[in-house]
Amino acid sequence: MKENHEGSDWDLRIAKLVSWLKSSEYFRVNDNVFLQDTPESGRGLYLKADTVSKNDVVVSIPSEYQLNFHSVVYHISKFNADLYFERVTCSDNDRVEDGGDPRSKLYKILTTNVVSKLSSFQLLCLYIMFEWKLLPFLNGPVSFWKPFFDVFPAASELKSIPSSWVLLPESCNKALFESLPAASMIHAQRIADQVLTDWRTVSPVLQMWSNAIEERIRPTVNELFQHFVHTYFVINSRCLYIDVPLKKSIADNFTMVPFVDFLNHSSDSELYCTPRIEVLKRGVCGLGTFNIVGGNYKYSTVGEQILLNYGAHSNDFLLCEYGFTLKDNKWNYIDVSPEVERLIEEETTKRFLQENGFWGDYTISESDISFRTLVALAAASSSNVRKVEKFMLGYLTEDSFYPHLQTLLQEFLHSLLEGIAVKTRQLETPEFCDQECVNNILQIYNGYTNIIKNHLKDSVLAH
Ligand SMILES: C[S@@+](CC[C@H](N)C(=O)[O-])C[C@H]1O[C@@H](n2cnc3c(N)ncnc32)[C@H](O)[C@@H]1O
């Protein structure tokens, strides 16, 4: 991690966050844990004393301190009576009098019709960006969420996210994008395209709000876009799954939870802490109290990190969504689709695989060469289509293609290793400006190498 969080300013911000959360009697942080910052993974929670065992509550954050589609709609409705969603928008008693707060005027544009067309991401980007980045320029009101915003990561802490290299003209990592493995490059480009789509949707509103700021200090369109990208990746790297009744799409089901978002990731999904949501405790606005509870692993060594599992994610995925990679990651796999597809030279073989739904999506993980990959390689190694068809249907095993398939597989794995060696050597040249970002990519290739070597070892033993 890049930013130094040590020192009194940070301590003060954390103290203010805790004091804000303590306004609710339901806020809890386990007495046995403490917050610490390390150069490797930034802020995280660690064991201070005693133990954290299965089902022990590590953190508990009530609904009204979470940012999600429901709580944002509720907060906007305090300034806009034209925004109405049953049992979500505020009652007339909670509405803010139009007494000079600029939001009473600016939030008017967010009617029920407008808001219901926005995704969770778009609404949260819009709202957080306004309350965090623009409201401070409008003399007077302070956002309810300020203590939460004040502990958000700085833009510099999100610089390892590859989509930002292509989105931000000033990124010094632009050249690195070409060195990404294909899987990361495709994923990062997809995120960058989504950021631009969302920007196109919300930027007219943001620009209108920004025009309310005195011209002398008003952000330019370019600055607005930078704030937007920053806000986008803050949300993306810190959101947690929750059921959002107002929304249908899975991508809309998330919430942002202070303090819980200090927990770092572990690939061991079965062992470490897990979320538990108490939907009956929805409070005045929101989706339920968000608890993190201990899992099967019992924390008993003082100083060890309390970890959460973000999902069964490979290093390609972690880099693109969160901007980090793990040294050991059991969920790593290699997408070898481009390389396998290049091997299939015969047009008839390609058509045969396409017609049978076996074209593309070829992967190799530590434990498996996927069946699809074996079928495609069997088709490349044999001219006997009937035999490949029987293999496809499960009537034959890959051993029926011995020795051609096994030889082709060995050559294929060796050629993958050579390709990785070339990419790795390119990354070791001094032309790249940011070693931390380079190291993340090297760590992905290293994971690939381990997977391939494992299969080469197996195939040598098998034959
Ligand atoms: C939900 S936040 C966790 C808190 C974060 N460390 C902080 O300082 O605010 C997610 C971010 O933490 C970092 N992170 C999480 N798990 C990590 C890990 N195992 N190793 C390195 N960085 C990690 C990544 O930068 C990621 O984007």
Question: In this structure, are 230 and 289 located in the same domain?
Answer: no
227 part of a folded domain: yes
Question: In this structure, are 373 and 423 located in the same domain?
Answer: yes
Question: In this structure, are 92 and 223 located in the same domain?
Answer: yes
Nearest ligand 1 atom to alpha carbon 151? 9
327 part of a folded domain: no
pLDDT in tens, 249-280: 999 999 999 999 999 999 987 789 999 999 87
For 158, residues 6+ apart whose C-beta sits below 8 A from its C-beta are 164, 230, 233, 234, 237, 323
Question: In this structure, are 262 and 371 located in the same domain?
Answer: no
Nearest ligand 1 atom to alpha carbon 160? 25
Beta carbons of 27 and 247 less than 8 angstroms apart? no
Q: How far is CA 85 from CA 68, 284, 287, 459, in A?
A: 14, 14, 14, 60
Backbone angles phi, psi at 401, to 5 degrees: -100, 10
Pocket probe for ligand 1: among 191, 254, 264, 444, the residue whose CB has the most ligand atoms within 8 Å is: 264
pLDDT of 460 over the 70 cut: no
Percent of the chain scored above 90 by pLDDT? 86
293 part of a folded domain: yes
Looking only at the bridges linking them, the beta strands covering 42-47 and 305-308 are antiparallel
Domain that holds residue 440: 333-462
3 part of a folded domain: no
Question: In this structure, are 138 and 246 located in the same domain?
Answer: yes
Backbone angles phi, psi at 335, to 5 degrees: -90, 105
Neighbour tally for 87: CB within 10 Å: 9
Shortest-distance Cα residue to atom 22 of ligand 1: 41
Question: In this structure, are 114 and 249 located in the same domain?
Answer: yes
Question: In this structure, are 316 and 263 located in the same domain?
Answer: yes
| Cα gap 76→103, rounded to integer Å | 8
Predicted pLDDT at 459? 65
1 part of a folded domain: no
Last residue of a domain, one of 254, 279, 305: 254
Cα(264) to centroid(ligand 1), Å? 5
pLDDT in tens, 108-123: 999 999 999 999 999 9
Question: In this structure, are 161 and 18 located in the same domain?
Answer: no
Nearest ligand 1 atom to alpha carbon 266? 19
pLDDT of 297 over the 60 cut: yes
**Which residue bears the tokens 């403490």?**
34
109 part of a folded domain: yes
Pocket probe for ligand 1: among 2, 38, 322, the residue whose CB has the most ligand atoms within 8 Å is: 322
Question: In this structure, are 235 and 290 located in the same domain?
Answer: no
pLDDT in tens, 224-239: 999 999 999 999 999 9
pLDDT of 43 over the 50 cut: yes
Question: In this structure, are 280 and 243 located in the same domain?
Answer: no
Tell me, what amino acid is at 126?
Answer: L
Give residue 213's Cα distance to chain centre: 32
Shortest-distance Cα residue to atom 27 of ligand 1: 322
DSSP H or E stretch at residue 437: helix 435-462
Cα(41) to centroid(ligand 1), Å? 5
DSSP code per residue over 33-55: EEEEEETTTEEEEEE-SS-B-TT
Three state DSSP letters for 387-419: HHHHHHHCCCCHHHHCCHHHHHHHHHHHHHHHH
Predicted pLDDT at 2? 44
Question: In this structure, are 227 and 312 located in the same domain?
Answer: no
Pocket probe for ligand 1: among 43, 149, 265, 320, the residue whose CB has the most ligand atoms within 8 Å is: 265
Higher local confidence (pLDDT), 38 or 354: 354
pLDDT of 6 over the 80 cut: no
pLDDT of 5 over the 90 cut: no
- The tokens for 218 are 């008003």
Q: What is the mean pLDDT of the chain?
A: 93
ipTM of the complex: 0.99
Three state DSSP letters for 134-155: HHHHCCCCCCCCHHHHCCCCCH
Q: How many structural domains does the chain have? A: 3
Last residue of a domain, one of 206, 230, 254: 254
Predicted pLDDT at 55? 96
13 part of a folded domain: yes
Where residue 391 sits, what CATH number does that domain have?
A: 3.90.1420
pLDDT of 40 over the 90 cut: no
| Cα gap 141→107, rounded to integer Å | 14
pLDDT in tens, 148-190: 999 999 999 999 999 999 999 889 899 899 999 999 999 999 9
Cα(327) to centroid(ligand 1), Å? 14
Give ligand 1 pocket residues (Cβ under 6 A).
1, 40-44, 153, 237-238, 261-262, 264-265, 322-324, 326
Cα(452) to centroid(ligand 1), Å? 28
